[in-house]
Copies of this chain bind each other. A is one copy, B any other.
Amino acid sequence: MGNFTIEAQSGRARAGRLRLARGEVETPIFMPVGTAGTVKAVTPAELEGLGAQIILGNTYHLWLRPGLEVLAAHGGLHSFMRWSRPILTDSGGYQVFSLRALSRISEEGVEFRSHLDGTPLRLTPELSMQIQATLGSDIAMAFDQCPPADAPFALHEEALARTTRWAARCLSAPHAPGQLRFGIIQGGVHLDLRRRHLAEIAALGFDGYALGGLAVGETPEQMYQVLEAVADELPRTCARYLMGVGTPRDLLEAIGSGIDLFDCVMPTRNARNGQLFTAQGKLVIGNARYKTDLAPVEEGCLCPTCAGGFTRAYLSHLFRAGEILYSRLATLHNLHFYLSLVRSARQAILEDRYAAFARNHFSLGTTY
């Protein structure tokens, strides 16, 4: 038996169960992002209270700081940050290529400079897997080359071929006991490249598969077209992960196309920047109208912030005063919104009413 079981389908949407070294994850699921060894502003206990089942850690950031020696001395990332449920780590590739002005790509790997202190560094598929083994994540991602969405076709072809060779090297490298390895499919918005790469990566036999290189500059409609065409062609018996996506509507579209896992900084980053998610759309807490608003962020919301009796006026005040408590309360609300959304989506799939759920979930014209 594999690591993933499909419990129900509703159209292409899947409700599944992913078995990992540190527990099972019910899909579809959203993974809060813990870039530097903490999901910003919240504790592991709070994440558990919100029902988070798995979080994401960033290989690049943790490699640079605190570094592998400190992480190894703690016995890995779980113990370092005191989070006992599953963790997925990215490969570091996306971060390195975000610094592409500073990077030199060769067959061996990528040379670049630390964003912290300018130190010259080199990351290879083998080193990425070694770092992820030291972090001890439950899911390690293959080291890939992620070109920008608007890169020339030839660059996409070159990146795909290299990513396939790197993927094979990742599978040959040592990994932590019980750690799953997921392959990444690139190809931008070119459906033919996506399908060619999918065939190459799937042939390598990973434990799960991800779509990379989306939400990197293309329009939502372009992304939805790729998902519509390709998501359900990913191996059916494995978990499918859409990396770095996205808005609430993105999640519902992708789930409808057959995606199971998501991560995105949007709920946490937007919270700190003053944007709160509600079923009626985005609430910008800095707007003057909220200064005297005695309502919770969202009526009926069960998050610790809304259920705790904190008013929009209080959050508005904390936001204006630059108080840390604002970031805490806002982050709790937004993460609750995302985690509730995927829980509701899962329930709708189990009851085979996903299409109606996705259609009706947001008020007409709601934008995020």
Contact = CB atoms under 8 A, between A and B. Distances in A.
A313 interface: yes
Given A36-B323, A80-B314, A82-B310, 5 more contacts: A40-B324, A40-B325, A41-B325, A42-B325, A65-B321
B313 A65 contact: no
A186 to B, nearest CB: 30
Interface in A261-317: 291-292, 294, 308-311, 313-314, 316-317
Interface centre among A66, A79, A291, A292 (most CB of B within 10 A): A66
Given A308-B82, A325-B42, A313 B74 contact: yes
Contacts of A313: 66, 70, 73-74, 80
Query: How many protomers of this protein does the assembly include?
Result: 2
10 contacts: A38-B323, A38-B325, A43-B328, A45-B308, A66-B313, A69-B292, A70-B292, A79-B309, A80-B317, A82-B310
Interface of A: 36-38, 40-43, 45, 65-66, 69-70, 73-74, 79-82, 291-292, 294, 308-311, 313-314, 316-318, 320-321, 323-325, 327-328
A323 B80 contact: no
B292 A73 contact: yes
